[in-house]
Amino acid sequence: MPTPPRPADAPPTKRFNSAEETWFWLMRAEKARDDGKRSAARSTTEPRPCEPGDIFRWVDQLYQAGALYPLHVEVLSEYGYLDRMPYPDHDEEVIDWVIWIDAFDTIDPILRAKGIIE
């Protein structure tokens, strides 16, 4: 279900600076939900231009279309949960970093087109 339109008198939303920032926001909201806490997405002082479920839906659409592969989703989930990106200068994470960059090369244009990131 898409996010309902915002009322005309609603405060302006703050777009994210990057697709990665959006992903970490989503993952923090999911961790808070899993912990039974109020959604981290709703606890911020600045309204955002989407809901966490919107991000999941768009990533799933990319996955279903074959633009993202299971390995992309695995790396995004793993490092999103850790709340950090893979370290390109660590031998054991360099491949994950390449996969991470590739995933966001696919996700970034979608989020820009939807006005989620600047």
**pLDDT tens-digit profile of 18-47?**
999 999 999 999 888 877 765 545 555 678
Does the residue 91 lie in any domain? yes
Give first-to-last CA distance, the chain, whole Å: 24
Domain-embedded: residue 106:
yes
In a domain, 68, yes or no: yes
Residue 24 vs residues 8, 30, 82, 86: alpha-carbon distances, Å? 28, 10, 9, 13
Q: Is residue 56 part of a domain?
A: yes
* SS3 labels along 26-83: HHHHHHHHHCCCCCHHHHCCCCCCCCHHHHHHHHHHHHHCCCCCHHHHHHHHHHHHHC
In a domain, 57, yes or no: yes
Q: How many domains does the structure of the chain reveal?
A: 1
Of the two residues 13 and 19, the one the predictor is more confident about is 19
75: left (phi over 0), alpha (psi -120 to 50) or beta: alpha
Average pLDDT over residues 6-18: 74
Q: pLDDT tens, 41-88?
A: 555 567 888 999 999 999 999 999 999 999 999 999 999 999 999 999
User: Using 50, 70 and 90 to split pLDDT, how confident is the model at 93?
Assistant: very high
Domain that holds residue 28: 19-36+50-113
- Residue 118 pLDDT grade (very low, low, confident, very high; cuts 50, 70, 90): confident
The model's pTM is 0.81
